[in-house]
Amino acid sequence: MTPVRCFGEDGKLPEKATRELSSELLSLFHQKKMPKSSPIILRIFKEEAELEVWKQDTTGHFQLLKIYPICRWSGDLGPKIYEGDRQTPEGFYTITPKLMNPNSNFYLAINTGFPNAFDKVNNRDGTFLMIHGDCSSSGCYAMTDEQIAEIYSLARDSLRGRPSFQVQAYPFRMTPANLARHRTNPHLAFWKMLKIGNDHFEATHLEPKVDVCNHRYVFDAQQPPSSANPLVFDPKGQCPPFVVNPKIAQAALRKQRADDVEYTELVKNSVSVAPIHSGLDGGMNEVFHAQFPGEIVPLARVLPPGSGPELPQLPPIPWTDNDGSLANRQFGALFGSNYALPTQVVGPDSTLQGRGAESAPTAPLASPTTTLAFPD
């Protein structure tokens, strides 16, 4: 079998992969003060069937450039677990030039890089999960050919002079209303973990630094001031002592506090719960319904609240700090029976620190041990 060539492997690329961006998009760069080759971040929201392109401006922050309706995605809300489950991935992925495929059978394709370190350590597997054209999906995010041509060009230009860009894939927009609607879903704890990274980005418009330790994502971790040892993250091993940049921590905590208040009120008012499906075959943005009638076949059945696929029972994540600072608390179990959320807390120096979720209502933020978990 002849191997598929990817971006940058030779000089013979098809015209569709080298096409210049439109004058309209270049004009938008100018209006938003975005250099043509500045970094991008792709943000995907399944339930809304939307893909956002964010691009870095001259201040170093990311601004929303454009929203693309997704033509087709397969599976149900929730992460990809195993080969053949038709699930589209959820999580944080790093796209390198070798994952750009100009010779795809689906016009153009960007491989998500699934499985990443988090997926592998949690025994999730699958291959060739893409963002591509042709509006046809079996575990992929499918766009129209016109859309993927533009997205591919934006990605290609952003990779000039840098090693990668980030993809953030979510089940839905990580709002308190959506989390309240899905509060009985078996994937809730996983989604709350993704929300921490989402909040870091939305609160700062900076790309979150993503690491994996002890079977979970960790965001924007940096070496404690009093530590002389560089941070080393082992996806299977204990998390090392770390803190989060105070500016990121403060902004993220403000957002988390406001979201927590709204979520609590929604649950208190018994907002309706979204049904949990078995066998749902994905969706598409409503703008494509007339163009592709019959593309979505409703094979799903609705399951009782709280039921759904069996999820792995991951261990707690204890980590301690002997340097005298408050940087190291203890994370709670990620997938416990009450879906405990590994949360983060504010120390006296305003750095964000790791801590386990508590089932009690949240306390005022002034407390150094304030938890920011959403109550279930």
Residue from 6, 71, 140, 239 carrying the catalytic annotation = 140
Instruction: Kindly name the residue from 6, 132, 239, 277 that is annotated as catalytic.
Output: 132
Q: Is the peptide bond before 115 cis (omega within 30 degrees of 0)?
A: yes
Positive or negative, the Cα torsion across 40, 189, 210, 138? negative
Three-class DSSP category at 243: strand
CA distances from 361 to 290, 303, 332 (A): 46, 29, 16
Write out the E strands in 163-313: 165-170, 210-213, 216-219, 221-222, 243-244, 276-278, 301-303
Q: In whole angstroms, how far apart are CA 185 and each of 191, 281, 303, 320, 341?
A: 10, 17, 10, 32, 14
Q: Is residue 140 flagged as an active site residue?
A: yes
List, as one string, the DSSP characters of 76-144: -SS---STTS-PPP-EEEEE-GGGEETT-TTSSEEE---S-HHHHHTT------EEESTT--SSSEE--
Neighbours of 85 (CB within 10 A): 18
Q: Which residues, in sequence order, are CB contacts of 67 under 8 Å at separation 6+?
A: 50, 51, 52, 53
**71 an active-site residue?**
no
Residue 329 has phi, psi (to 5 degrees) of -100, -160
Positions marked catalytic: 132, 140
